[in-house]
A and B are shown apart, each in its own frame.
Chain A
Amino acid sequence: EAGVAQSPRYKIIEKRQSVAFWCNPISGHATLYWYQQILGQGPKLLIQFQNNGVVDDSQLPKDRFSAERLKGVDSTLKIQPAKLEDSAVYLCASSRTSGLMNTGELFFGEGSRLTVL
């Protein structure tokens, strides 16, 4: 079974530029998550999709971050304009069910490492 695919693996941009990350979840997983992990911290949820609908985006900085999952499969996360504090690893995860109520397992991609100069 193929895992969660993310691209690009690395991205370096200057502040005020824009960047987009792509994620393809495990086949059949209805729920997709985007997390931000700053060095030395645990992952922080940005947005959760159930199929192509947004379940929770309460922690997404909507003035500069946007995400979509138009066909209920792959997803993109965009940052525009980027700030220095956006430097982090952006992790995409998927699961068969919403939240951790059943198996408790989120499957993460390898992440996209963003450096903002």
Chain B
Amino acid sequence: NAGVMQNPRHLVRRRGQEARLRCSPMKGHSHVYWYRQLPEEGLKFMVYLQKENIIDESGMPKERFSAEFPKEGPSILRIQQVVRGDSAAYFCASSPGVNTEAFFGQGTRLTVV
């Protein structure tokens, strides 16, 4: 049973470009969470999705950030018009249900130059 798969592992974007981060949850997991880790900090919740639905986006910046988890395919975190402050590690987690054990992918390290 493969773990949570994230790609790419590393992503470099110039200011103003778009970044797309992908996450495939573990088999049998229908709950997906995105977190951001700034340098030397802990992880901060961004968004919680189930198939085709955003359940909680209270941690998402109001502009430029969006997320989806379509019926088919991976979950996507999209950042438009990236700025240097978006440079961080973005982690995806999945779980089989609410308040069950969550498992994390290896993260995507975004660098904005």
Q: Do A and B bind each other?
A: no
Which positions in B face A, CB cutoff 8 Å?
Answer: none
